A and B are shown apart, each in its own frame.
Chain A
Amino acid sequence: MEVTPRKAEAEQSPARPDRKSAWRDLFTFRAAAQPRQELWLGVGAFLLVLVVWSIVAESGLVQPQILPSPRAVVAAWLRLFTEAGYLGDIAISVARVWAAFLASAVIAIPLGILMSGYRFVTAVTEPIIDFVRYLPVPALVPLTLIWLGIGEGSKVTLLWIGTFFQLILLIADDARRVPKEFIETGRTLGASDGALMKDVLLRAMLPNMVDSLRITLGWCWTYLIVAEIVASSSGIGYELWTARRYGKTPEVFAGILTIGIIGLFCDQAIRMLHRRWFRYLQ
């Protein structure tokens, strides 16, 4: 596995690059990628933040109630896992996100493709989608509570509303960007509308679609925390909010970091799959 976390398009650097010029390239406008140096910079910046945080917290410059030290956060984390059943909270949060995300994708992918292909579908759905899309998700919390109570249904529905109406437009755009020549080639080779969408359109848009799904999954996490803070008795968001109520700042930090780490992990996993599935793009 190559170690180029963010640059899927990382160019092949020459066999043994001159160290100095590799670093200089990082400051040259549109120079070739330097995967190794870039990785070190990323790790370095991360460590720098950690070190500054440690110094400020440990030196007593800031009250631990405001900024707990990294050590205190790690300790809080362990407490969460051993005493508060945090693994269960993580599992339920991940399950909510994926349930809503899959429900969005299963409907948004076919409907988005139909939107790109048939004026009728666009004309009927677009005004509704655009209207819902501009509603802030928290504004819908009261309504989902009235309709569905405080069970799992209301949370998953909230996440679904938050992602579906964004995702469908992204999918429709991905489908519209497929070159006209691909579609016309399919037609002149005898493909029906259905075959055209399945064998040409879907295949051609797939790499961009996976990116759209990845981005939407990130938004899904955002809404999850909103849903769990407002009305829940489990999940990462709930634990976060409970910790605040009792003034446990280290636990609040641990919760935030947990969300960040899960998000980062999902994102990187999908990027890796993207590189593996779509080798033909390179």
Chain B
Amino acid sequence: MSTSAFIRINQVAKAFATPDGGTIPVVDPLSIDIKEGEFVVFVGPSGCGKTTVMRMVGGLETPSAGDIHLDGKRVEGPSRDKGMVFQSYSSFPWLTVLGNIRFGLRYRNDISSAEKERIARHYLALVGLGQFADYTINRISGGMRQRVAIARTLAANPLVLLMDEPFGALDALSRERLQIQLMELRRAERKTVIFVTHDVDEAVLLADRIVVFSARPARILADIPVSATLPEKRSLDILDIPEFRQIRREVLALIRAQETGLEAAE
């Protein structure tokens, strides 16, 4: 393990208590080191505990064992350093599109309100919602809502962006558009990202590195350095190149083996 890790997940485990006094292990002790600026995708069978690992990084769940450090500081609960984008729509309906993005800056005391306004409008434009600044949330589509959520989180300027199946509820076309937009955003912002998905194509398309999780309780099955074989700048055309298909096959085989294992166990 290197000592220069930006995020260090160290022997972290999680077990939930059951009503009858027992515990169910959800995550077996595991360690992951993430470099600054790295785009890491967690994939695995649904319900495997990959989201739990990410939520522990975000401070929204407490590990049962082990510890997590972000930029040298121990994670002790949620904070502005760990920005989160959820699968379900988390934009506030009582605020407009721009109002929601402004909310990301509400608790920053380090900048003036004029600067806040400038930053909010910058991210509004960056996610392509310039014309929709004054729309209420219930009047815009699911894809646009997720763009609002992403812009709001980026405006808060977190050290790491945590994305929990953010495109899972979108139709195929909106999803593609947001994937491309996320890649562009990411090149512009150089943020460290942890992205959870069960869509293998999405994982390979977006990732510098894919961590494949086993079925519950989660263990790490493979840690695949995607950026070693695929170019950094990608488009949807990449879905057809052999290297892409190779990684995709590899990941799918690992996950399928888990799911057949599960079925056999039942």
Q: Do these two chains interact?
A: yes
Least Cβ distance of A153 to chain B in Å?
A: 39
Is the contact region of chain B dominated by helix, strand, or loop, or is it mixed? loop
Contacts of B79 in A (CB 8 A): 187-188, 190
The reply to whether the CB of B136 lies closer than 8 angstroms to some CB of chain A is yes
The reply to whether the CB of B60 lies closer than 8 angstroms to some CB of chain A is yes
* Residues of A in contact, count (CB < 8 Å): 21
Contacts of B80 in A (CB 8 A): 188-190
Contacts of B94 in A (CB 8 A): 203-204, 206, 280
Q: Which of A187, A204, A279, A280 lies in contact with B78, CB distance below 8 A?
A: A187
Encode A124-135 as 1/0 by CB contact (under 8 A) with B.
000000000000
Contacts of A192 in B (CB 8 A): 107
Least Cβ distance of B64 to chain A in Å?
A: 20
Q: Are A188 and B58 in contact (CB under 8 A)?
A: yes
Least Cβ distance of A143 to chain B in Å?
A: 41
Contacts of A185 in B (CB 8 A): 84, 86, 90, 149, 152
Answer whether A181 and B60 are a contact pair too, CB < 8 Å, given A190-B80, A190-B156, A280-B136. no
Closest to B156 in A: A189
The reply to whether the CB of B23 lies closer than 8 angstroms to some CB of chain A is no
Answer whether A280 and B138 are a contact pair too, CB < 8 Å, given A181-B86, A184-B84, A185-B86. yes
The reply to whether the CB of A182 lies closer than 8 angstroms to some CB of chain B is yes
With A and B bound together, what is the CA distance between A113 and B48 in angstroms? 34
Contacts of B103 in A (CB 8 A): 189, 199
Is the contact region of chain A dominated by helix, strand, or loop, or is it mixed? helix
Q: Which of B86, B88, B106, B162 lies in contact with A199, CB distance below 8 A?
A: B106
Q: Which of B60, B88, B162 lies in contact with A179, CB distance below 8 A?
A: B88
Encode B77-110 as 1/0 by CB contact (under 8 A) with A.
0111011101011101110000000011011100
Q: Which of B89, B107, B136, B138 lies in contact with A190, CB distance below 8 A?
A: B107
Q: Are B92 and A190 in contact (CB under 8 A)?
A: no
Contacts of A281 in B (CB 8 A): 93, 138
With A and B bound together, what is the CA distance between A108 and B136 in angstroms? 30
The reply to whether the CB of B137 lies closer than 8 angstroms to some CB of chain A is yes
Encode B147-173 as 1/0 by CB contact (under 8 A) with A.
001001100101000100000000000
Least Cβ distance of A181 to chain B in Å?
A: 4
Q: Are A184 and B137 in contact (CB under 8 A)?
A: no
Least Cβ distance of B156 to chain A in Å?
A: 5
Least Cβ distance of A59 to chain B in Å?
A: 55
Q: Which of B84, B89, B138, B156 lies in contact with A282, CB distance below 8 A?
A: B138
Q: Are B107 and A189 in contact (CB under 8 A)?
A: yes
The reply to whether the CB of A111 lies closer than 8 angstroms to some CB of chain B is no
With A and B bound together, what is the CA distance between A247 and B52 in angstroms? 73
Closest to A181 in B: B90
Given contacts A190-B107, A195-B107, 20 further A-B contacts (CB under 8 A): A181-B86, A181-B89, A182-B92, A184-B60, A184-B78, A185-B90, A185-B152, A187-B60, A187-B78, A188-B84, A189-B83, A189-B107, A190-B108, A191-B106, A192-B107, A199-B106, A203-B94, A280-B136, A281-B93, A281-B138
List residues of chain B with CB under 8 Å of any chain A CB: 58, 60, 78-80, 82-84, 86, 88-90, 92-94, 103-104, 106-108, 136-138, 149, 152-153, 156, 158, 162
